[in-house]
Amino acid sequence: MLSVHQISKIYGIQTVLQKITFSINATDRMGLIGPNGSGKSTLMRILIGLEMPDSGTVAKTRPDLKIGYLPQGLELDPHLTIAQACELDLPADPDAALVEIASALAVNPSDQGLQTRYDELVKYLSTVHHSDDILNPLGLADIDRDKKVGSLSGGQKTRLMLARLMLEEPNLLLLDEPTNHLDIAMLEWLESWLNSFPGAALIISHDRTFLDHTVSCILELNPDTHTLREYAGNYSQYLEQFLIEREKQWDEYRDQVTEVRHMRQDINRTKQQALQVELTTTSRQPGTRRYAKKVAQKALSRQKKLDRYLNSDERVEKPVPGWQLKLDFTAPEHQSRDVLVTEKLVIGYPGNFPLMENINITLRGGERVALTGANGCGKTTILRTIAGYLEPVAGSVHLGASVKLGYMTQEQEHLDLNKSPLDSIMGAGIFTQTEARHFLHYFLFSGDDPLRPAKSLSYGERTRLELALLVAQGSTFLLLDEPINHLDIPSRARFEQSLVRYTGTVLAVVHDRYFIDHFATKVWMMEEGRIRQM
């Protein structure tokens, strides 16, 4: 379907992609992975034709290839209605309009404008008939199609963009982070839909469980060499291969270090032997001195051989660990036994019906709870109520006396976008400028990054800055609303490890099933107007 040959891309002096070659065939399911900034989205934009490579080619090997592209962070016009966004905005009486155009076309069969309008209307009618098959399982069929896009939740917007894509009926899907903001039920539906999709798909995702369930091949972009390598299997199978190869490389590197050390010792012994003979003999012992000279030449020959080996492709490179996010949440000196207690709590927004009533929950010190449920059921609302940004409609919320709350929002609205990361961190704790820069380095802010205003940072960089602020503030109770949406796989793994080591209390809204399995001591499900422990 699509053939990629020797693609390279450079921005200024920064190489992003280096001689990338691979092919996508008719039924392939491929996952594209790599750390943030490794060039995944750039490569996908080149494949769709939105950017041009500096060298190399992208060729369609199927003449009728229709590509469906879902970019990361796509923002629809908030003033559009759902119908307009899905191109379902038809005339008041589409059947009458079709008859009218058909009659006009019978009189003027060569009128290309009439023919185009007729074809478009037939297509729209077909789309409307087909739309409920897409909108219904995505949870959009019951929403008024005249509702504005700007009033939708983050999850609803993601599902709307997926619906737009599916209604186009492509035969190749290029999906850049399609799982962001989707709840578990929608993730499972999308997995099922992709597995029954008759075409091919290339998917950028940091959701490891999603990749395990949807792809049979992993393409890994290396951020150091800017090259791509293909692995057979899903994400877990890729990881197993990668770790085996990494361990083998370490074994070969350690053997090489030992061998090189022995060779250097042998060369030094030979040199010392030749020097000792030269120092203890005179010109009246030519035979012995000739022997010493041959020994010295042997040492020089061995040194040249060693130098050639160390500069050759045969040399085993030392495995370089990826520069992953370094997190160390400080342990609270003391924490209350009951960190959070709600009594007959009712949550919602002023002027609207309550989202949930009679909430009675207790969160103990040190627990790590994953809060999950369908989009729109009230997860963010209850976090905002606990954090004090929303007043309870009724009932009460009690925090332990020694609790120091840290709240990370889904929309990142607590960040001052006009401040730089350096200013934000210096304002959050007692840091000198040097200490603040060193601190930010642990969150992958290097060079001039700490000096850039937050509004110029990517979503992933803003997430890292929010995490840095939580650490700097010494929070003992973390409220995290979709904390890993914009983190790459290495950073997600590191974040999991840090939360496991963190001895404070965590309540996190999260839909990443892999993350839940590795982080949570409890799972709370919000459904049917109540919270139940799973």
Half-sphere exposure of 438 (CA within 13 A, CB side): 5
pLDDT at site 89: 47
pLDDT at site 386: 92
Closest CA to 402 of 258, 250, 505: 505
Give the separation between CA 207 and CA 274, rounded to whole angstroms.
63
Q: Provide the 8-state DSSP code for 521.
A: S
- Helix 184-196 and helix 154-167: axis angle, to 10°? 10
Closest CA to 336 of 303, 367, 358, 300: 367
pLDDT at site 102: 75
pLDDT at site 289: 66
Residue 11 in tokens: 């921005």
Bridge-based pairing state of the strands 217-221 and 29-33: parallel
> Where do we find the tokens 């023919």?
115
Find out whether 476 and 330 touch, Cβ atoms under 8 Å.
no
Specify whether domain 2-240 bears CATH 3.60.10.10. Answer: no
Q: Which CATH architecture has domain 338-533?
A: 3-Layer(aba) Sandwich (3.40)
pLDDT at site 154: 67
pLDDT along the chain (534 residues), means of 10: 91 89 92 87 91 91 86 72 64 62 76 72 52 62 71 72 78 87 80 87 90 93 89 90 83 84 84 73 67 76 80 73 57 68 88 85 89 84 90 90 84 80 83 83 80 82 81 83 81 74 84 85 86 81
Contacts of 373 (CB under 8 A, 6+ apart): 183, 379, 525, 526, 527
What's this model's pTM, rounded to 2 decimal places? Answer: 0.62
Bridge-based pairing state of the strands 338-347 and 356-359: antiparallel
- Residue-wise DSSP of 286-323: HHHHHHHHHHHHHHHHHHHHHHHHHTSTTSPPPP----
Closest CA to 37 of 499, 454, 472, 464: 464
Find out whether 126 and 119 touch, Cβ atoms under 8 Å.
no
Dihedral angle of Cα 447, 450, 454, 455, to the nearest 10 degrees:
-30
